[in-house]
Amino acid sequence: MRTIPADIAERFEVGPLVEKRADLSTLDVDSKDVPELLARLRDRHGYRHLSFATATDLFEEGVFVLTYMLHNHEERHSLGVKCRIGRENATMESCHLLWEQMWTYQREMKELFGIDFPGSPRVDESFVLEGWIDIPPMRREFDTREYSERTFPTRPGRSTKDPATHMKEKLYPEAL
């Protein structure tokens, strides 16, 4: 059973260490502590590898959960550091100085969720959605179908058929 290292428990307000598997745990922390905690985990506790950083939109609670997945190669253990930030004007401190690929994840979160990371390199450059002007598409309120119908309207002159009715007409014309 893993426990939170003493220096981390003393220094930061952290939640319980939740063991998902023998080689995977998660730890909830306050968002303001994230950069320092990540640096400490990297430098003093062997979590030198960043697997990914991402966000989950908890629309109903009005928060984003940010997850930083670290890995300790010696102990063969992954640790997901999680924090919550408000959805309105979502801003998080940048951690791009800790890992060289972090700025890309932050740039992606800015584009797809609208979470800002002030000071992160090229954070305002588009990543995969060149010329995107709608709300960030990974937010839960973004309706893909509505967007699609609004942006790519059916051209006049075309008729569409309900697939179920079409198949009935084709297979059982006598029943109609």
Partner 1 sequence: MFEGVKGFFPPPYDPKEPVDFSSGKFLKMWQGPQHPGITGNMSLELAIAGDTVYDCKTHVGYLHRGFEKLMERRLWMQNFPLVCRIAVPEPDFNEYCYAQAIEELAGVEVPEKAKWLRNLTLEMIRLASYLMWIGGQAGAFGHGTIIQWSATMRDYVLDLFEELSGGRIYHMYIIPGGVRSDLPEGWTAHALEVMETIEKNLDDIELVMFHNAVFKMRAKGLGVIPKDWIDRYGITGPNARAAGFRRDLRKDQPYLVYDKLDFDYVTAEGSDAYDRALVRLGEMYQAIDLIRQMLARMPSGGEFKTALPNPLHWKIPAGETYVKSECTRGEYGFYVVSDGSDKPRRVVVRGPSYTHAVSVMETLVKGQNIADVAGLMVSLHTYPPEIER
Binding residues for partner 1, rule: CB under 8 A, are 20-21, 23-24, 26, 48-52, 54, 56-57, 67, 69, 73, 76, 78, 80, 99-101, 103-104, 126-130, 137-138, 140, 142, 144
Task: Provide, rounded to whole angstroms, the least separation between the CB of residue 24 and partner 1.
Answer: 6
| Segment holding 34, helix H or strand E | helix 34-44
How is 93-146 classified by DSSP, letter by letter? ---TTT-TTHHHHHHHHHHHH--B-TT-TTTTS-SS-TT--SS-TTSTT--HHH
Pairing of strands 24-29, 77-86: parallel
Largest CA-CA distance found in the chain, in angstroms, rounded: 78
Complex with partner 1: residue 8 or 25, whichever CB lies closer: 25
For partner 1, which is the closer residue by CB, 26 or 31? 26
By beta-carbon proximity to partner 1, the closer residue of 145 and 155 is: 145
Nearest distance, CB of residue 136 and partner 1, angstroms? 11
Cβ closer to partner 1: 2 or 52? 52
The one-letter amino acid code at 170 reads K
In the bound complex, what is the minimum distance in angstroms from residue 19's beta carbon to partner 1?
12
Tabulate helix, strand, coil % of the chain (nearest 5).
30, 25, 45
Smallest separation (angstroms) from partner 1 to the CB of 10: 26
State in angstroms the smallest separation of the CB of 156 from partner 1.
27
**Residue 120 in contact with residue 94, Cβ under 8 Å?**
yes
| Cβ proximity to partner 1, 11 vs 58, nearer residue | 58
